Structure 1
Amino acid sequence: MAIRLQDIADDLNLSKMTISKVLRGQTDVSAETKARVLKRMKELNYRPNISARGLRTGQTYSIGMVVPSLADPAVAMIARGMNEVFRSANYGLVISSADGDGEAEEKEAELHLSRQVDALIFYPRSDASDVPPILKTTTVPVVYVGPCPPRIPGPNVGLRENAVGQIAAEHLLERRCRRIAYLRGPRTAIADQRFAGFLEAMRSAAVSVRQDWILEILPCEKEYRSGFEALRRLITAKGRPDGVVAYTDWLAAGARDALIAAGMEVPRQVQVIGCGNQRDVCETGVALTSIDLAYEEAGRRVARLALKRIGSKGEMNLRGITLLPKLVQRESTQKIDG
């Protein structure tokens, strides 16, 4: 039989209200009493009834999140940051994937709202121009991850995307690279902004960009192979780059290995920089310099915004937050003496 608050109260000769105060972390209970209550709860393996608490407070202590794909490494890093905040506030995070489908995206959002989540976190697809209509009318607080489509209510946590390409280009230019190839991502607003930042840095340094070294990589699951084949074709043509910027770490890893397979030294002859700072990718082989996209910090910021909106019943008009990417230097762009 499940242990109730009243059972613990009777066992310790305390009121049910006192036990409840300990559970809620209120400070008007003595340290000695709190220690007795927590000790007895542990002995009895007591678990609070979240459903019952929800009926009393009107809260479910759950947060819903819709993501484009669970296969995206960014989702795991964002969720890790969010959990740091939600766990300490005794909230649970429930994540569902739309698998890149607009209709599924809308259905998943509706399912979360039907479960009476206290807030919904929405991570739009990279090619989305709008959000599910229900998000525009719901009274449940909504917080967006990444760039928010125009005229959409609700705060967001995004990244200064043009700075990604700019930082990568400037780093290679500082390493005296002048023949820089760019493995660009899909034709999305985010990829375009990063490419624009790269071009701006190159123009500012008065370094020309060869159009045949801007390599279009079609979206696919085999990014490593795409990066490998793109660089293999490039270095068999006339001339070769002395620097490579890639839209993802997997593309960069493929490019790096193609260069090595062709007998070139990284970083002595060609320097390579990726994007995303995926440690399992970057720290294998010749360790890749990468642009950290602040995913975990974005998760923490999103979670704090969600809790603030819950606390204000969604009435607080919170501004969006823009984070800055940062360079994480490793062996692939290391300075070589002589």
Structure 2
Amino acid sequence: MNLIRERGVAMKKKQTVTIYDVAREASVSMATVSRVVNHNHNVKPETEQKVLNVVKKLNYRPNDVARGLASKKTTTVGVIIPNVTNSYFAALARGIDDIAEMYQYNIILTNSDGDEKKEIKALNTLYSKQVDGIIFMGNDISDEVREELRNVRTPVVLAGSVDPKNEFPSVNIDYRKAIYAQFNKLFENGNDRIAFIADNLSRSINKDYRIRGYQDALKDAGVPFRKSLLIEATDVSYESGYKLQERLIKSGATAAIVSNDDVAAGIMNAMGDNRINVPEQFEVATSDNTQLTEMTRPTMSTITQPLYDIGAVSMRLLTKVMDNEEIENNNILLSFGLKKRESTKD
């Protein structure tokens, strides 16, 4: 018997239970044990139950590292998320996780704070763990991050993130058409000075998609473009939105389309605190349809995005890429809508 001594007390050395131990105890082959623990149902029910009983009795835990070396797969997917506390990205992550579980993948979630250096560090960490694929969430892909993604053959799918160069598969809504539709709704309510607000106007998702939708709508409505109504928030926080209230009133705007729900909530509450009634005197429409839109008073009208579905479809797309399946469409656009609540008139 192998013994170790700690502080003068004799202790049994912990023995690792192997697949061989389970097979011997259950009187089956190691291949049968492997099929059972990998949820391959090509095993007789009574044999499967016998193996599961032994697995439980011996407290057997499959060795994922060894299994990965044998199959050249780790059954692990890395997910890079800008902010784990943000309701938008959290909803996407839930969809990713559910589909990952369905396809028997584990998730390694890393928070990047939307910072390029942290994104690169996260990528390198995930590569070192030999993940089978990566889902990248972020508002933009810098040249450095793009280069990092190119240099490694690990499959990548973008979720709720645009790629104007179309190098990587992605799942989104049509942000350009969504902003166009929301502008027209506010315009029909009698507003011709409608502000567009986002945290970084130079990011591709804003510059190449949302702002273009905003400009398309202005042109078709015969309303002149006013640079003063294109407003950049300092970040995607409630506080940054609250601070924009005075600037919005000075700009002459009577309505605003906001790219982030937290920012929109800040604007709306600041209006109320300054005795400006929403929506009678100022209309607010937001873009993400997170739970926050129903928690505020008044509740917020919004572009509706199928957030869970964006995450779920992204993970399913990644499984296809990882398995070298044929993919009909690399850039999937899911349906969006407009949800009327109390922060707009009609």
**Equivalent residue number for residue 13 of structure 1:** 27
Measured against aligned partners, the alpha-carbon deviations of 1:185-243 in whole angstroms (never above 9, x if no partner) come to: 4222212221221232243234556554x15234236x3333333223443x49661x3
* Partner of residue 252, structure 1: 264
Aligned residue number for residue 212 of structure 2 = 196
Residue 105 of structure 2 corresponds to 91
Are the counterparts in 1 of residues 114 and 138 from structure 2 also a CA contact under 8 Å? no
5 Å-filtered alignment, 1:1-338, equals 1-70=15-84, 72-123=86-137, 126=140, 128-129=142-143, 131-145=145-159, 146-150=161-165, 152=167, 154-187=168-201, 188-192=203-207, 193-207=209-223, 211-212=227-228, 214-220=229-235, 223-235=237-249, 237=250, 241=254, 243-280=255-292, 282-312=294-324, 319-333=330-344, 335=346
**1:245-302, Cα deviation, whole Å (9 max, x unpaired):** 2222122212212322233332344332112222135422211112234432222122
Quick one: distance in 1 between partners of 2:259 and 2:326? 38
Q: State the shift of 1:83 in Å.
A: 0.5
Moved over 6 A (4+): 314-318
Post-superposition offset of 1:28: 2.7
Q: For 2:93, give the aligned amino acid.
A: A
8 Å contact kept, 2:75–2:106: yes
Q: Is the 8 A contact 1:121 1:143 kept in 2?
A: yes
Alpha-carbon distance, 1:163 to partner = 2.0
Deviations 1:297-325 (A, max 9, x none): 2221221122112222x897862222343
Q: Deviations over 1:15-35 (max 9, x none)?
A: 332222222333331223323
| C-alpha distance in 1 between matches for 2:134 and 2:323 | 14
Compute the TM-score of the two structures, normalised by the length of structure 2.
0.81
Cα shift readout 1:50-86 (whole Å, capped 9, x = no counterpart): 1221122111111123344545544322221111111
Are 1:61 and 1:92, in contact at CA under 8 Å, matched by a contact in 2? yes
Question: Per the alignment, in what secondary structure is the counterpart of residue 145 of structure 2?
Answer: coil
Distance 2:345 2:49 in 1: 55
Q: Is the contact made by 1:163 and 1:325 (CA closer than 8 Å) also made in structure 2?
A: no
Contact 2:262 2:292 in 1 (8 A): no
Q: In structure 2, how many angstroms separate the alpha carbons of the residues matched to 1:294 and 1:105?
A: 25
Residue identity over aligned pairs, in percent, reads 28
Q: Structure 2 regions of 5+ residues with no counterpart?
A: 1-14
Contact 2:136 2:158 in 1 (8 A): yes
Contact 1:185 1:217 in 2 (8 A): yes
Q: Aligned in 2, Cα 1:184/1:9: closer, same or farther, shift over 3 Å?
A: closer
* 1:88 positional shift: 1.6
Kept in 1: contact 2:284–2:301 (CA 8 A): yes
- Secondary structure of the equivalent of 2:343? helix
Counterpart residue type for residue 230 of structure 1: L
Structure 1 unaligned spans of 5+: none
Query: How does the TM-score come out when normalised to structure 1?
Result: 0.83
Is the Cα contact below 8 Å between 2:304 and 2:336 reproduced in 1? yes
Q: Relative to 1, partners in 2 of residues 1:44 and 1:318: Cα closer, same or farther, differing over 3 Å?
A: farther
The structure-2 alpha-carbon separation of the partners of 1:149 and 1:69, relative to structure 1 and needing over 3 Å to count, comes to farther
